[in-house]
Chain A
Amino acid sequence: MMSIKKYVNNLSDEDLKRLYKKMLMIRKCEEHLGEATKNGAFPGAVHLYIGQEAIAVPLCDQLNDSDWISSTHRGHGHFIAKGGDIKKMMAEIYGKSTGICGGKGGSMHVADFKKGIIGANGVVAGGMGLAVGAALASKMDGNGAVSIIFFGDGAANQGVLMEAMNISSLWNLPMIFMCENNQYSEFTHTSEVTSGKIVDRAKPFGIPKYEVDGNNAVDVWQAAYQAVQRGRNDEGPSFIEAHTYRQRGHVEFEYTFLSRNYRDQSEVESWKTNDKDPILRLELYFIEDNKFSRDDIEKIHKEVQDEVNDAVKFAIESPEPDIASAMEHMLEE
């Protein structure tokens, strides 16, 4: 709580409220997906972003449609944070014609290029080159746009990260490396597959680095502010490592096929408390500082939940894709 208060002067209460609502929107979308998948409401598997909302939202809050983001298999949060339409996202995950990708991509490929969302990605670190390429284009356009690669602690072990950091620094590209260290790579703890500190990997490339509490929206906002401003002012790439925790499984349903546990439930619970969970933390701050009452918060919850319910209804009621669409879009006509 301390650090939220420490930085809060730089963000107005309106700002914080906006961040909070976006984070809540992600949370409620993900909660729905986590529930609905149990009943087989939609095809395919989902990797949920619950617990990491304070990373995508404060960074994307500073972006506009001409900035680019490239993300991961855990990509719903990034999509929503960057202004993606939740109806179209939901419909995509439900495999419907009204989905943002016409039902052809699903959860792991939600993308909206008009909004600068290069998309989620099924290949770990697969989005890295795409983000660097978009940064190159922005640099050549000289339009001050920045490009963000969101990637996990697991992805940080792909060699392409080194290639991306080198070329971004060499060419002074407006890149932001946003590593979301949620402590797990699938079912393996980061410490078992990662040497050194991830954030330190930026150092030999001369890339400024920031290490933040990724469950603290204000801390993330501050670090992101430095990185975005650097990019906009042609000062080159930045690297942020945000420490967080994956509250859900790697993928929903994992205990139906895993042969054993890989973490204690008590560990998971310890990240859901008022002072750890990124959303509850903001709520606590709002209440303790008398910014909102419990009732105000309830009201916001309801507003957001209504919007999510509408999106779900839209997804469920939307038609299946037209079979002919399967044959479209491989190549430009």
Chain B
Amino acid sequence: MSKQRMMPAINLALQEEMKRDNKVILYGEDAGISLLGQTTGLQDNFGRERVRDTPICENIMTGMAVGAAAAGYRPICHLLYGNFIYTGFDSIANQAAKLKYMTAGQVKLPIVYMAVIGGGRSAAAQHSDIPYPALMNLGGVKIVVPSNSRTAKGLLKSAIRDDNPVFYLTAAGGGRPEEVPDDDNYLIPIGKSEVINQGDDVTIISIGPMTLKAVQATKKLNEKGIGVDLIDLLSLVPIDEDTIISSLKKTGRVIIVDEARDTCSAASHISAILSDKAFKYLKSPIKRVTVKDIAIPYSPILESHVIPEVADIVNCIEKLLESN
């Protein structure tokens, strides 16, 4: 174990997996020098053949991943910010998510598309999006949303070893340093969530960048004598239905904390699953703490109004408990 921040933990996972399997290649804009720190030093260790700086050309980058994967490599396509998933969306939505199906399973597409997502940095509307709702709707791609450095390492390694296109989406900031296992086989299975706090009164399901805030909210609620089952979802496709349903059975109340815009958010989908499969255990309506259907504004005062804060989570739960 050693204490690490998010970006070094991601870097470690990349180093280990590139060492383990020489079919793993990585490319992206400024991948060599690394804008955000995930890929620092990879070019020195694995060379410019396997770690490539691309021009700015997201649509060919996302498409190239499909072709390279079909031809036997395990490409990692580094897209910087989540908003540039949109620039490369055609090859993601029309090719990566569908080629296997259309060709009756002829190809394996072991691809990792990585990007940072979410706001909170006054980066404004074109650098702050949460693009996973659109990706969830494709069906043909997996999506993981690690919340801290440990889960970042374990999930990236699993994503690289998975034989499907996997979106690997982390917060840009990265939070506090956490203990990260040194084990180079430390894997967190895709599709498995983690219960990171146990309690009987309410279930919080938190997604990716929101988990840090959900942890703080849980502490505040505990101090007020409210017991929280806090589930760090970790994977959006597939969703760990068993864990969230069994927590709901225990608490009877669920709130889902999601930085996506509300309409067709991950939260609304999870809410649909729960009401479908565990309706009779619900003591109150399932609540979503999400972003309204607006773009992310630049000014901090506006941005923090729009993006859920710890207090929004706490308030939501207090109201929920009061009303029953």
Contact = CB atoms under 8 A, between A and B. Distances in A.
Tell me the dominant secondary structure on chain B's binding face: loop
Contacts, number: 123
Tell me the dominant secondary structure on chain A's binding face: loop
Interface stretch (B162-170, B220-228, B289-297, B312-320): B289-297
B299 A259 contact: no
A159 B57 contact: yes
Interface string A81-100: 00000000000000110000
A327 B124 contact: no
Given A105-B124, A123-B126, A323 B57 contact: no
Given A95-B298, A186-B35, A326 B56 contact: no
B262 to A, nearest CB: 13
B41 A95 contact: no
B294 A262 contact: no
Interface string A149-161: 0000011011100
Contacts of A106: 122, 124, 298-299
A104 interface: yes
A259 B124 CA distance: 26
A185 interface: yes
Contacts of B122: 43-44, 95, 106
Interface string B267-307: 00000000000000000000000001111011111100110
A125 interface: yes
Contacts of B294: 326-327, 330
A113 interface: no
Given A44-B298, A103-B298, A320-B299, A194 B126 contact: no
A108 B126 CA distance: 9
How many residues of B sit at the interface, in one of the four size bands?
Answer: 35 or more
B296 to A, nearest CB: 9
A267 to B, nearest CB: 16
B55 A122 contact: no
A108 B121 CA distance: 13
B59 interface: yes
A202 B286 CA distance: 57
A325 interface: yes
Interface residues of A, number: 42
Contacts of B301: 95, 103, 320-321, 323
B107 interface: no
A180 to B, nearest CB: 14
B125 A157 contact: no
B158 interface: no
B57 A186 contact: no
A288 interface: no
A159 B58 CA distance: 9
Contacts of A96: 299
Given A106-B122, A159-B57, A187-B30, 7 more contacts: A103-B301, A104-B299, A193-B54, A259-B34, A323-B305, A326-B302, A327-B294
